[in-house]
Chain A
Amino acid sequence: MGGAGVTGTFVGMPTFPVAARRALGDAQLRHNLGQATATIRAKRQRLVEEVDAAVPTSAADPQGLGGWEALRRAGAAVKEAALRSLPEHLERLEAELVANGATVHWARDAAEACSVVAAVARAHGVREVVKVKSMVTQEIGLNEALEAEGVAAWETDLAELIVQLDEDLPSHILVPAIHRNRAEVREIFLRRMKEVGRAAPDGLGDEPAALAAAARSHLREKFLSARMAVSGANFAVAETGTLVVVESEGNGRMCLTLPEVLVSVVGIEKVVPTWEQLDPMLRLLPRSSTGERMNPYTSTWSGTAAGDGPGEVHVVLLDNGRTRALADEVGRQALRCIRCSACLNVCPVYERTGGHAYGSVYPGPIGAILNPLLNGVGHDDQVDSLPYASTLCGACFEVCPVRIDIPSVLVDQRAQVVDAHRGRRRSGEAVVMRLAAATLADEGRLGFAERFTGVGLRAARRGAGWPGLRRWTGARDLPRPPRESFRAWWRRTGGGTR
């Protein structure tokens, strides 16, 4: 992972506007993302309405907020309470984990966390570990760190497997391989599975069911032989020392259950104070994330359990910039994030550029604030460009299950970027203008304020140019569009839905 950044912006990534412009040229990516986000949005919306209908207005919701709004307020309050009293919850979590038979490690940064995991692998002499999809292990660059120690880390989530086999980068928190279609997945499996384990069957078709079956048999072999697993956690319950992993495929259960040794890397912001407070979280996350009432599998464990699952359980509590974010009065709320990806799915910028353009593990609106918060601004133009990767339309705030006011944080981060650059050779505005120029170079000199959000702007223009064209898949080389600002277009068209 690159440079000084604690979240490891991808090595050699261009700044957002440049990467976004490239991504805009990729019709396949745009098409896949458009379909994916529209599908998930619709499913989520149905469930929001279902919760609204199921919660009686008077008793359970005295303020008349509606069931979903009351639920997300409860979720936001749980995480906010956890963050504001974090020291006591972390100490409680540690004490409970230890009492339950787990070993607790603390890590200031990515390198420290990776070295803890590597040391456990070394102590057991393992050359392979199986992994549950986890953003935090990607954040710390764990796979690369283990590889450098001669330990192969196998991703076991289907999408992560596709990305890993292809030596590619994930493009979406939830569906990291959304930029690949079935034919491409088939080709990747046929070419690569045999090099690293059980080969894909001859005559493999490209139906998703056949591809999933190939992944099942390829990975089953790894699950049955692996002696060590690495996971993250969605929640860490302080009061009981319980970790929670939410998943769909069952690869998580395999990793958490079959190997002898389990290491979980947990950001310190994952704390939930009490077991009962999982109530809003477990109701909000799957509905916001995959648009399901509940995800297929949720595993909870509190240290070790006699005769069931790994006999050795480690938990690495990770800072890596989180305390920096915690100290930011406006930005602190970003640590409430439960990584549901709902904000990505409603973001007009994300929909049109894909995740790669953000150059980071955390893409989309949440990435646009989280990366600068974790890394600090003023060191890295890629990170500094992210707070501008937005149109401030507010859709992300509306869907966020823990009510993170992303637009307000973005505005604050922009101010911080400008401040950080003041006194450097280039002024903040100069940097910003340079980035803007990269996007808008071929489009003439335009007013700055509304124009800088170049990606959304182009979306706006195309939407305005062809009123009937909702997803501009395949649209290229468009005539010069009318000059309508993105926000104006967004308001007029309801975000391109009209």
Chain B
Amino acid sequence: MSAREEVLAAVRAALVGVVPAPDPPRAPQVRPPRDVVAHFAERVADYRAVVERCARDELEARVAAALAPASTVVVPPGLDLAVAGAVEDAGLAARELEEFEAVVTRARVGIAETGTIVLDHGPGQGRRALTLVPDRHVCVVAAGQVVLDVADALAVLDPRRPQTWVSGPSATSDIELERVEGVHGPRTLHVIVVDDAQPLD
């Protein structure tokens, strides 16, 4: 027998006489806060990420200010924002991405309860390496993209697309449990919540 057949046969044999479990109950959902976008911003800030809210017409200036410490900026194809001096990613090698200090992207969805931004790496978000290698990630989330909790995010996300769920800057507590921000991912995460209702789909 092949390994496949043998493993599957062993699984079946182990379950002889075992009845399938009933469908799991839906997990309990949290009570919506009065202002879900404010809740999102608070929870993102809890991770020691930089977070700010702005109106649509302020956005480009806010992005420029968030990028100020960086002199080299890369942006994904399809970004609907003008970023002065930025280079658009056209399949840069990882070593070339290393040369950039910052990256600006959109996101797919924001999760309020956990303070998470989710990238599905569609237009304006770039492939996964783009938001990984540069040391500063400025991420624009539209207020209309913010959902309450994990279940709401899963409902709008397409599992066939690769995704990166980001909750604060990378961190480790491996040495004496002292939290250190920024091990391998961007050491600075700067989230700008723009008050427009960009539809989720």
User: Which residues of A approach B to under 8 Å, CB–CB?
Assistant: 32, 35-36, 39-40, 51, 54-56, 60-61, 67, 70-71, 73-75, 77-78, 80-81, 84-87, 90-91, 100, 105-108, 112, 156-159, 162, 175-178, 180-182, 185, 208-209, 211-212, 215-216, 219-220, 223-224, 237, 240, 242, 248-251, 253-254, 256-258, 268, 275-280, 282-283, 290, 292-302, 305, 307-309, 317, 319, 323-324, 326-327
Provide 30 A-B residue pairs closer than 8 Å at the C-beta atoms, listed in order of the A residue: A55-B30, A55-B31, A67-B28, A77-B22, A81-B22, A81-B23, A84-B15, A91-B8, A106-B6, A175-B177, A177-B174, A185-B175, A212-B172, A216-B183, A220-B98, A223-B94, A223-B184, A249-B170, A250-B132, A250-B185, A253-B128, A254-B132, A254-B184, A279-B151, A282-B150, A308-B129, A309-B128, A309-B162, A317-B7, A326-B15
* Complex Cα spacing A163 to B20, Å: 42
Contacts between chains A and B (CB distance < 8 A), count: 256
B186 to A: closest C-beta gap in Å:
8
**At the interface, yes or no: B160 with Cβ under 8 Å from chain A?**
yes
Within 8 A of A (CB), among B127-186: 127-129, 132, 149-151, 154-155, 159-178, 180, 182-186
* Complex Cα spacing A487 to B171, Å: 38
- Number of residues of chain B lying within 8 A (CB) of chain A: 74
Beta-carbon contact of A75 and B184 below 8 Å? no
Beta-carbon contact of B15 and A307 below 8 Å? no
Beta-carbon contact of B170 and A323 below 8 Å? no
Q: A36-B177, A84-B21 are in contact. Are A249 and B172 (CB under 8 A)?
A: yes
**At the interface, yes or no: B72 with Cβ under 8 Å from chain A?**
no
CB-CB nearest in chain A for B185: A250
Residues of A within 8 A of B111 (CB): 294
Residues of B within 8 A of A279 (CB): 26-27, 150-151, 154
B181 to A: closest C-beta gap in Å:
8
* Complex Cα spacing A209 to B24, Å: 43
* Complex Cα spacing A175 to B179, Å: 12
B78 to A: closest C-beta gap in Å:
13
Residues of B within 8 A of A278 (CB): 150, 154
B2 to A: closest C-beta gap in Å:
7
* Complex Cα spacing A375 to B180, Å: 38
* Complex Cα spacing A40 to B160, Å: 34
A69 to B: closest C-beta gap in Å:
9
Beta-carbon contact of B43 and A293 below 8 Å? yes
Beta-carbon contact of A74 and B2 below 8 Å? no
Beta-carbon contact of A61 and B28 below 8 Å? yes
Residues of A within 8 A of B23 (CB): 81
Q: Which of B20, B46, B91, B159 has the most CB of A within 10 A?
A: B159
Residues of B within 8 A of A275 (CB): 154, 159
**At the interface, yes or no: B3 with Cβ under 8 Å from chain A?**
yes
Beta-carbon contact of A177 and B150 below 8 Å? no
Beta-carbon contact of B132 and A296 below 8 Å? no
* Complex Cα spacing A40 to B179, Å: 12
A-contacting 9-mer, from B56-64, B79-87, B112-120, B190-198: B112-120
Residues of A within 8 A of B132 (CB): 250, 253-254, 257-258
Residues of A within 8 A of B171 (CB): 248-249, 296
* Complex Cα spacing A21 to B31, Å: 49
Beta-carbon contact of A249 and B175 below 8 Å? no
Q: Which of A40, A51, A100, A300 has the most CB of B within 10 A?
A: A300
Beta-carbon contact of A323 and B13 below 8 Å? yes
Residues of A within 8 A of B47 (CB): 296
- Residue from A56, A212, A307 in contact with B175 in the complex, judged by beta carbons closer than 8 Å: A212
